[in-house]
């Protein structure tokens, strides 16, 4: 733990001020919010767990507003509605705070920590309302192109993805602000894969696209995916396997043996259930997603199974959050070779 009179960064200083033990954990946000089962654009800069207590820490290098305090309070209210969860304490760490906001924070039981002016604070993590989303089709095409190229210019990204230079520059700037991308000497690269995956998990959780789980009478998930592919292709029904199913095929990583995952258009689900569904719950589950974009035009076929593109598969795996993190990271590491 750092000396509070000579701190290196905000996290060390805050830990010191809270009197946290050295082994107090800095909790992973994706796993934490999976347990909350919520989808809100409210993310503390730090989450510390010390024994049976949680500390949600908001770090502000700019002026604290009523909106900041309102969002912190909302997050606590949501948390406290969950049963059997550790007590949560709100902490606001800031370099400057008006008396009105300081009084309100005190009344709402938000602990205020005044940061020294010389201290380094996280940048690009404060909540921003923006129409540019990492998971949007244009943004994601730039991200996945960057994963493939690893280190390239904004102009090359624009040319290879058929996107205007102005729009690509705007996307890269937004990704820089979110600590996803860094730019050095005219070239850009992915700076923080974890931050990238966390952002996608927040923006586009796959649970929001899930519309039904249907049991199908097959002895294994691989055989189920092959037979479903054959049947739906013959029936000229649009479909594509994704997430664990396609990710396992792309990476040869361990796959789920109890389920398959696929996109179907809503109007074809009844036909799918009628022809392939089973009443036997000791069989394979088909987890059905409703597409929020075109996922059918760029499919591939592996081992007789129709699967989403590498870019779509990675997006969907990231949207599964902590539960698929190992497979998602393998997919990221292999992405340039896919």
Q: What is the CA radius of gyration of the chain?
A: 23
pTM > 0.75: yes or no: no
The pLDDT value given to residue 40:
52
Give every strand in the sheet of 239-241, ordered side by side: 210-216, 284-289, 259-264, 239-241, 305-307, 300-302
What is 137-199's CATH number? 1.10.10.10
Fold annotation for 10-114: Trna Endonuclease; Chain: A, domain 1 (3.40.1350)
pLDDT tens digits along 277-306? 988 888 899 999 999 999 999 999 999 999
The pLDDT value given to residue 119:
79
The reply to whether domains 10-114 and 137-199 share a CATH topology is no
- Per-domain residue ranges for the chain? 10-114, 137-199, 206-337
The pLDDT value given to residue 227:
96
Q: Looking at the domain covering 206-337, what would its CATH class be?
A: alpha beta
The pLDDT value given to residue 81:
75
The pLDDT value given to residue 281:
81
Tokens for 323? Answer: 């539960």
C-beta separation of 252 from 187 below 8 A = no
Q: Are strands 110-114 and 87-94 parallel, antiparallel or unpaired?
A: parallel
3-state secondary structure the chain: CCCCCCCCCHHHHHHHHHCCCCCCEECCHHHHHHHHCCCCCCCCCEEEEECCEEEEEEEECCCCCHHHHHHHHHHHHHHHCCCCCCEEEEEEEECCCCHHHHHHHHHCCEEEEECCCCCCCCCCCCCCCCCCCCCCHHHHHHHHHHHHHCCECHHHHHHHHCCCHHHHHHHHHHHHHCCCEEEECCEEEECCHHHHHHHHHHHCCHHHCEEEEEEECCCCHHHHHHHHHHHHHHCCCCEEECHHHHHHHHHCCCCCCCEEEEEECHHHHHHHHHHHECCCCCCEEEEEECCCCCCCCCCEEECCEEECCHHHHHHHHHCCHHHHHHHHHHHHHHHHHC
Please give the chain's pLDDT, 338 residues, in tens.
334 344 467 888 888 899 887 777 677 665 565 555 554 556 788 888 887 788 999 988 777 888 889 888 988 887 777 656 677 899 999 988 888 889 999 999 999 999 888 776 655 444 444 456 889 888 899 999 999 999 999 999 999 999 888 889 988 988 888 888 998 888 999 998 988 998 898 889 999 999 999 999 998 999 999 999 999 999 999 999 999 999 999 999 877 789 999 999 999 999 999 999 988 888 899 999 999 999 999 999 999 999 999 999 999 999 998 889 899 999 999 999 98
Torsion, CA 74, CA 78, CA 84, CA 90, rounded to 10: -20
């Amino acid at each position: 733990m750092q000396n509070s009179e000579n701190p290196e960064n905000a996290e060390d200083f805050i830990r010191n001020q809270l009197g946290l033990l050295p082994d107090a954990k800095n909790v992973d946000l994706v796993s934490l919010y999976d347990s909350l089962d919520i989808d809100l654009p409210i993310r503390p800069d730090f989450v510390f767990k010390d024994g049976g207590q949680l500390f949600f820490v908001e770090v502000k290098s700019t002026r604290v507003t009523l909106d900041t305090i309102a969002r912190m309070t909302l997050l606590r209210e949501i948390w406290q509605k969950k049963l059997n969860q550790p007590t949560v304490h709100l902490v606001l760490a800031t370099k400057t705070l008006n008396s009105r906001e300081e009084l309100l924070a005190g009344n709402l039981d938000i602990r205020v920590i005044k940061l020294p002016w010389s201290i380094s604070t996280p940048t690009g993590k404060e909540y921003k309302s923006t129409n540019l989303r990492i998971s949007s089709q244009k943004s994601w095409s730039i991200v996945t192109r960057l994963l493939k190229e690893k280190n390239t210019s904004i102009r090359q990204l624009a040319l290879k993805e058929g996107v205007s230079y102005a729009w690509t520059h705007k996307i890269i700037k937004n990704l820089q602000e979110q600590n996803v991308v860094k730019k050095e000497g005219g070239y850009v690269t992915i700076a923080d894969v974890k931050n990238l995956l966390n952002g996608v998990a927040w923006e586009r959780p796959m649970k929001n696209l899930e519309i039904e789980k249907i049991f199908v009478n097959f002895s294994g998930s691989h055989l189920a995916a092959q037979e479903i592919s054959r049947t739906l292709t013959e029936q000229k029904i649009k479909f594509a396997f994704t997430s664990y199913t396609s990710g396992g095929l792309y990476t040869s990583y361990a796959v789920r043996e109890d389920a398959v995952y696929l996109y179907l258009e809503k109007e074809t689900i009844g036909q799918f259930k009628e022809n392939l569904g089973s009443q036997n719950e000791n069989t394979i589950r088909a987890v059905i997603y409703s597409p929020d974009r075109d996922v059918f035009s760029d499919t591939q076929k592996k081992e007789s199974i129709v699967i989403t593109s590498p870019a779509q598969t990675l997006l969907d795996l990231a949207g599964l959050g902590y539960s698929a993190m190992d497979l998602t990271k393998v997919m990221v590491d292999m992405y340039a070779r896919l």
